Structure 1
Amino acid sequence: MRLPLLLIAYLLAEIAAFAWVGEKVGVLGTVALVVLSTIVGLWLVQRQGLDALRKAAGLGPGQAPVVEAWDGLCLATAGVLFAVPGFISDLAGAALLIPPVRRALLGQAQRLSGATFTVRTTSTGPGPGTPARPTTVIDGDFVDVTKPEDAPHLPPPPLPKE
């Protein structure tokens, strides 16, 4: 019951923000701001997302990338918020682009859950600690070109000796 009420409150707040900005800068200015904030926001999410992937790839085996995983989740959420047209969603997405805000949210999430988060990774391919095994894959097609009447005739098996 709380979720629909929160959604309705959010939508009303977005409509009020659109009306307020529209009053200040006009209709074309409002549309331009929404489009510009979407483009710039998604570009920033892309840059920070690639940086987070590079950091996660640079971790050694056995290191749990909790912060990198959390950053990835926050950046994906920011991307969704920037893709949704609206000024409040853009402000929330912009807040998720700030690393100290993400760290504070991680700490808050850990406090609320009463547990610390861990990310477990497994390695299935060659790498440190796993032996490399060569694999051979032979890909091919075949066609049976023998006809039943052309099939070789084998002699009958010999009769058992008594």
Structure 2
Amino acid sequence: MSFGRIFFFIFGFALLEVLVLAKVAGLIGWPITIIATVATALLGSYLFRSQGLETWVRLNRKMQQGEMPGQEMVEGIMLLLGGALLITPGFITDAVGFALLLPTSRRLMARKVIDKGTLQSFTSVQGGGFSYTSYTRTGGNPFQQPTKPDDGHITIDGESRREDK
């Protein structure tokens, strides 16, 4: 996507947010609109903390059991995005942010993301480097351990070492 398209998307989205805020403020008044915007940010920060902690605990539990925490990793990214959207003033970003923070909708969206594409991960290897692995879901249960693909995907393993001069 080119810089121009990204710029016009962000500009158009910001303009839409301002129009929605102005319309709501025209209906209920500016003071209540501002209070509602601040209240959604506070509620969002509370949800972000509680849901983030729950997701972190589930991620650690799966890692200790030797399972790949793909669902939890995707949910963690959604939580970060949802938290950022909720502290951004506007009702459209608040609606999307709440959808990403509420457990039911977040888990449903995370399952769809996992089922649709490839789950990729970086893992540490002995010697201080990182290994990149690509896993592909082949359908079925989204909570099963994914398998490494044998269909032409490239997996690059390697190590990096920093040498200070």
TM over 0.5: yes
Structure 2 counterpart of 1:80 = 84
Letter in 1 for 2:55: A
The question of 1:50 aligning with 2:88 is answered: no
CA shift, 1:94, in A, is: 0.6
Unaligned runs of 5+ in 2: 127-165
The 8 Å contact of residues 71 and 114 in structure 2, kept in 1 or not, is answered as no
The 8 Å contact of residues 48 and 101 in structure 2, kept in 1 or not, is answered as yes
1:21-40, aligned counterparts within 5 Å?
Answer: 21-40=24-43
Cα deviation per residue 1:35-90 (whole Å; 9 max; x = unaligned)?
Answer: 00000011111100000011111123431111101111000111111111111111
Structure 2 counterpart of 1:66 = 70
CA shift, 1:100, in A, is: 4.5
Distance 1:46 1:54 in 2: 12
CA shift, 1:105, in A, is: 3.6
Distance 2:108 2:120 in 1: 17
CA shift, 1:116, in A, is: 2.3
Change over 3 Å in CA distance of 1:30–1:19 after alignment to 2: same
Structure 1 counterpart of 2:94 = 90
Letter in 1 for 2:11: I
Name the larger-Rg structure: 1
Q: TM-score normalized by structure 2?
A: 0.65
2:21 is aligned, of 5, 18, 21, to 18
Unaligned runs of 5+ in 1: 125-162
The question of 1:116 aligning with 2:127 is answered: no
**Structure (1/2) with the larger strand percentage:** 2
The secondary structure found in structure 1 opposite 2:118 is coil
The question of 1:6 aligning with 2:17 is answered: no
Distance 1:43 1:103 in 2: 18
Aligned length, in residue pairs? 121
Distance 2:68 2:40 in 1: 34
Change over 3 Å in CA distance of 1:34–1:90 after alignment to 2: same
Q: TM-score normalized by structure 1?
A: 0.66
Runs of 4+ in 1 over 6 A off after TM superposition: none
The 8 Å contact of residues 17 and 87 in structure 1, kept in 2 or not, is answered as yes
Question: What RMSD over aligned residues (CA atoms) do the two structures have, in Å?
Answer: 2.1
Structure 2 counterpart of 1:157 = none
Sequence identity (%): 28
